[in-house]
Amino acid sequence: MSFDAVRRWLVPLACGVTIFLSGCAYLSPDNGAGQQQSLGLAAQQQEQVVSLAGEAKGHRVWLAGFAMNSTSPAFQGDLELVSRRLSGLGGTVLKYEHSNEPRMKTLRYPFANPQTLHGSLLHITEHARADDIVVLFISSHGSRRALSVNAAQKDYPPLTAARLFAELAPLGDRPTVVILSACFSGSFIPALQRDTHIVLTAASADRASFGCAVHDRNTFFIEELLANDFDASRSLVQLMSHAKSRIELREDRLSLPHSEPQLSVGRRVQWLANLPLREWFASADPSSAAADPLALLDKRGMEAFRLYLEKPYPRAFAMSPDGSWGFASGPSRSDPTPPVERAVSNCQKGGRAGCRPYAVDDRIVWAEREQNFVK
């Protein structure tokens, strides 16, 4: 539902009045008590993050999560679900969690708005290593190239696509996953596309998404992506494909128009998009975007890799440090050897040297020291 449409809803509050009455003394960014509590909670989060970051060894994931609208509990429910899923992967997750809760007499989270987003991303920039993974999550109502900001049932200036791009810029080449659960969120993709960005949106640029009414616990998009039938052995590409199918069936059952969730993957983070979530912390050196060999492929090579991802199992993609490539999939009547051997052979055509497997099915194997895939 767009944030323009939500104004037509009457949202019951704890004191028994509705959003257009002001009888409830809720904390907001406009009053001193709200500002003080929000700043204090943000400072606590930053202190905890710095402490955990100093103790963490190996790969780390940074989460900047924002539930930016107080008119439905689904937005905060989305934030909390994303946070739980990342924590359940078994590695170090450094969290900045912000929410404009539906009822705020005592804050549990700092306010979620462009100002707190700026502060969190700046703090991540100051403390994250180049090979850490950054996840930015935002759930709210949306319109084209704008995300609603509503706290204590009051609308504030929205977060625009242009501003979000500017806020992400200081992260540089750190691998960054942006998840937007909002109507028309696909309209953000053109502004956010970068070689090191993966962008998942709940809807296409001209479609609404669903699950953000006053009784919903999660939006359809986040519920199907990370709650229903969730499997951490799937990659973001697989999770997105699975969620899209389930959302479409759900919308059909309810006679709703299709929201058409979108996925955009930068060429230097193909490895991350196709890495099972449970392996995010296991991948060490080559997980940095600069080290990923896909960055060596030319335009034809990247098109070949995209085509490879659509091929049936079993499949394999091979390449060499000079940017040569080859792939194979399924059984072959003319050549009974496994796809991985055929992929290496295809890469070696023309006398190319150094070809070895990059991916086998959906597993990135380039970094594995013992290459047991070919004889």
pLDDT for 207-237, tens place per residue?
999 999 999 999 999 999 999 889 999 999 9
Q: How confident is the model at residue 124 (pLDDT cuts 50, 70, 90)?
A: very high
Sign of the alpha-carbon dihedral angle for 367, 49, 32, 16: positive
- Overall average pLDDT of the 82-102 stretch: 94
Q: Which two tokens stand for residue 98?
A: 């912000």
pLDDT > 70 fraction of the chain, expressed in percent and rounded: 87
- Overall average pLDDT of the 57-66 stretch: 90
pLDDT of amino acid 284: 40
- Overall average pLDDT of the 173-195 stretch: 97
More confident residue, 202 or 354: 202
pLDDT of amino acid 309: 85
How far is it, in rounded angstroms, from Cα 117 to Cα 210?
24
Contact 37, 27 (CB under 8 A): yes
How far is it, in rounded angstroms, from Cα 96 to Cα 116?
10
Q: How confident is the model at residue 286 (pLDDT cuts 50, 70, 90)?
A: very low
pLDDT at 80 over 50: yes
- Overall average pLDDT of the 186-193 stretch: 97
pLDDT of amino acid 350: 63
- Overall average pLDDT of the 322-336 stretch: 82
Strands (E) located in the chain? 60-67, 92-99, 133-139, 142-143, 146-151, 154-160, 176-181, 197-201, 262-265, 315-319, 325-329, 356-360, 363-364
Does domain 5-287 fall into CATH 3.40.50.300? no
Burial 325-343 (b: 16+ CB within 10 A, else e): bbbbbeeeeeeeebbbbbb
Helix (H, G, I), strand (E, B) or coil at 219: coil
Q: How confident is the model at residue 17 (pLDDT cuts 50, 70, 90)?
A: very low
Q: How confident is the model at residue 111 (pLDDT cuts 50, 70, 90)?
A: very high
Q: How confident is the model at residue 306 (pLDDT cuts 50, 70, 90)?
A: confident
How far is it, in rounded angstroms, from Cα 325 to Cα 13?
60
pLDDT of amino acid 21: 36
pLDDT at 95 over 60: yes
Residues of the chain with CATH 3.40.50.1460: 5-287
pLDDT > 90 fraction of the chain, expressed in percent and rounded: 63
- Overall average pLDDT of the 323-338 stretch: 84
Q: How confident is the model at residue 130 (pLDDT cuts 50, 70, 90)?
A: confident
pLDDT of amino acid 59: 78
pLDDT at 178 over 50: yes
How far is it, in rounded angstroms, from Cα 323 to Cα 297?
5
Contact 110, 45 (CB under 8 A): yes
pLDDT tens figures, 22-51: 345 689 999 999 999 999 999 999 999 999
What are the φ/ψ torsions at residue 190 (nearest 5 degrees)? -55, -35
Q: How confident is the model at residue 352 (pLDDT cuts 50, 70, 90)?
A: low
pLDDT of amino acid 287: 38
pTM of the predicted model, to two decimals?
A: 0.74
